[in-house]
Structures are given as C-alpha cells and as structure tokens.
Amino acid sequence: MPETMQPVLTINQKRVLCALEKAARPMGAYALLEQLSSEGFRAPVQVYRALNRLTEYGLVHRLETLNAYICCTGQQRRANEVTAYAICQCCGHTEEVDATELNDSIRGRMKSRAFSISRTTIEIFGRCAGCVDTEPTIPHAG
C-alpha cells in the first residue's frame, strides 16, 4: 500500500487499534480478546485477523519476545525499515525509538550480502527513567 494512502479499517480493526492506543503497555491477543468481549469479540481468530491486517498496514507492531502488540508511533516509516523498542523490565513501559542510524547500517550490510530485508524489529530491554533504581520483574524470553 502506498505510504500516502490511509487504509480503510473494518469495525474490528478499529476496535483493536483503539484498545492498543489506550493501553499503558503492549497487549497480547488474549488480553485484547478479554477487553473487547463486551464489544462482540468471541474468538481469538477475530483478534488475530485484526492484528494481522493492522500489522500489514504498519499501524501495529508485534513484539516477539513479549508475544504482544503495540501501536506504531513512527512517522511514515517504510515497511522494510528497522523498528526499535525500549522495553522496561520493571513496569513494562515500551517506547518506539528512532533507529535511523541502525537502519542505514543494517541495510548497507545486508545489501553487500545480497540479502533483501522484509522486516527488522529490535527489542531493547532495560529500565526506564522511573524504574532505574528498582529490580527487574518482567522476564523476557531473550
């Protein structure tokens, strides 16, 4: 889809996107299902279909290590650029960070190897400013 075109979202896609926008942290599909059950969501497949399409549109990103989703805050990023997230191990606060320099470096290295990148997501775990003096409590599968 060209960058200038806005996707036409279904009702379910709008509801899932709205729930993620309001969330304080990334959410898994089953947490979304539970939250949206009062709005007619009855099966995980409804949530996964919406998440898959929102991901294709670049409106949502999947955080692999958390098995959760978060809204994209990047401004008009190309589909195959690097996306990086700083994830607090204490409170779960997750922030999309500028990865322009990483993108240029990774794309250059892969181009020299004749490797075509479809997507790259970097998940950086640590402590946010509010939790810097506390012990980590959220495990990651890294």
Alpha-carbon gap, residue 114 to 91, rounded angstroms: 40
pLDDT tens for each residue of 57-104: 889 999 999 999 999 886 545 556 788 999 998 889 999 988 888 888
Same domain (yes/no): 104, 139: yes
Same domain (yes/no): 97, 115: yes
- In this prediction, residue 107 carries a pLDDT of 86
Q: Does pLDDT of 130 surpass 80?
A: yes
Same domain (yes/no): 16, 47: yes
Same domain (yes/no): 89, 140: yes
Considering the domain boundaries, does residue 1 fall inside one? no
Q: How many domains does the chain have?
A: 2
Cβ count within 10 A of residue 110: 13
- In this prediction, residue 142 carries a pLDDT of 43
Same domain (yes/no): 89, 62: no
Same domain (yes/no): 85, 96: yes
CATH number at residue 59: 1.10.10.10
Please say which residue of 72, 90, 122 terminates a domain. 72
Which residue type does 66 have? L
Same domain (yes/no): 14, 62: yes
pLDDT tens for each residue of 5-25: 778 999 999 999 999 999 989
Q: With bands split at pLDDT 50, 70 and 90, how would you rate the model's confidence at 141? A: very low
Q: With bands split at pLDDT 50, 70 and 90, how would you rate the model's confidence at 4? A: low
Alpha-carbon gap, residue 57 to 111, rounded angstroms: 25
Question: 10 lies in which domain range?
Answer: 6-72
Please say which residue of 42, 72, 102 terminates a domain. 72
Same domain (yes/no): 26, 61: yes
Considering the domain boundaries, does residue 13 fall inside one? yes
pTM of the model: 0.78
Write out the E strands in the chain: 60-63, 68-71, 82-88, 94-97, 120-126
